[in-house]
Chains A and B, each alone.
Chain A
Amino acid sequence: MLHFELVTPARLVRSEDVYMVVVPGSEGEEGVLEGHAPYMTTMRNGALKIYRTENAAPEEIQVEGGFAELGRDGLTVLAEHVAEG
């Protein structure tokens, strides 16, 4: 499982283990699974898609001013504004 954290200046929105997260990177969408190579990217304003399990319907979170960092500890998305829908 991929450890996923979504952080805004005001609070820690999510911290959980998920199957896959689709990140709207500034250079194109990228599906991040466990074991992905470390990378950093800025994000377009758009929806972050979170797949809890392989076949589950994705949960979408609108993110503005985002930045994604993928390291050993999992995926961390820093976002200035977040709208859960």
Chain B
Amino acid sequence: MASLKELKGRINSVKSTQKITKAKQMVAAAKLRKAQAAAEAARPYAQRLAAVMASLASRVTVSESSPRLLAGTGSDQRHLLVVANSDKGLAGAFNANIVRAALAKAASLRAQGKTVKFYLIGRKGRPVIRRAYPNDIVKNFETMHVRQAGFTEAEQVAAELTAMYTDGEFDVAHLFYSKFRSALLQEPTEQQIIPVPAPTAAVEETTGGAVVEYEPDEETILADLLPRYLRIQLFGALLENAASEQGASMTAMDNATRNAGELINKLTIQYNRSRQAAITTELIEIIAGAEAL
């Protein structure tokens, strides 16, 4: 049985842990609101661009001469998995879920005899993937120096991916991130980003059926928009990831705070019992002493 002093120490240490988890929960809640607002603000642009892309794609037939970002390299042998993680932990299974989805995909691609490489964004996924595929990590993209990965980072990643694609280093790129459903639910998601899948979103009829003039022609505009579409996909994923991270963190810290509370109650009961037992023993000793006289 632990001594009273030990129990008291443990109660205090659990109490300070609870304070930390509670603080982190509140910070995550505040950051979540911000991240959600950012994700919402990015939506109009993404929707417009997707609508334009869809209407263009329906007019242009994919052929040999189409831009490579759309038509692909003609092979699907080499795959690049772009895995977006966060830089900080304390977010429950958030990073683990994304990494697990990526590793599962990698394993299934390997089983089909394809080559798989990794492009990692953020710090948290690295050790796990490095353990499984020590020689297949092409690049670790740093996001530590910025507070929140934003459009600048999306642009950099997109530029690097496009350069690698043009140099023929891979045929297909998949993006792994976590989609934000609610503070309680984040969905690890896989999405093909290169070759750009033609958006199939319902073509928004903004023109009222009138003939649209394209300046220059459709193909040129499409070729021009493809890299932008890639950037906005990455940007969107980063924003979703940021919101998911905060959501996951909030839930995890809420649980941790509750667990700490339960532990404190249990330890307090144990402490009171031991104290009572000590008092009883002392009384018995005194009474026994008095009777002996």
Interface residues of A (CB under 8 A from B): 7-12, 25-27, 37-42, 65, 67, 69, 71-73, 76, 78, 80
A7 and B213 form a contact (CB under 8 A): no
The answer to whether B213 and A38 touch across the interface, beta carbons within 8 angstroms, is yes
**Other-chain contact of A40, B45, B205, B212 (Cβ < 8 Å):** B212
The answer to whether the Cβ of B74 comes within 8 Å of any Cβ in the partner chain is no
Q: How many residue-residue contacts, CB under 8 A, span A and B? A: 87
Q: Which residues of B contact A67 (CB under 8 A)?
A: 49, 52, 221, 224-225, 228
Contact partners of A65 in chain B: CB under 8 A: 228
Question: What are the 4 tightest A-B residue pairs by CB atom distance, in nearest-first order?
Answer: A71-B206, A39-B213, A41-B215, A38-B207
**Which residues does chain B contribute within 8 Å of A72, judged by CB atoms?**
205-208, 210
B48 contacts A7, C-beta separation under 8 Å: yes
**Which residues of the partner chain A approach B151 to less than 8 Å between Cβ atoms?**
9-10, 80
Residue contact B210 to A12, C-beta cutoff 8 Å: no
User: Within 8 Å CB of B232, what residues of A?
Assistant: 9
Residues of A within 8 A of B56 (CB): 40
How far apart are the CA atoms of A27 and B215 in the complex, in Å? 7
> Does B213 contact A37, Cβ atoms closer than 8 Å?
yes
Given A39-B213, A80-B228, answer yes or no on A9-B235 (Cβ-Cβ < 8 Å).
Answer: yes
Contact yes or no, A10 B207, CB < 8 A = no
A76 touches B48 (CB 8 A): yes
CB distance from B154 to the nearest CB of A (A): 8
B216 within 8 A of A: yes
Instruction: Decide: B206 and A80 in contact? CB cutoff 8 A.
Output: no
Stretch at the interface among B18-26, B36-44, B243-251, B266-274: B36-44
* Contact between chains at A25 and B42 (CB < 8 Å): no
State the CA gap A8–B228 with chains docked (Å). Answer: 11
A41 contact set on B, CB distance < 8 A: 214-216, 221
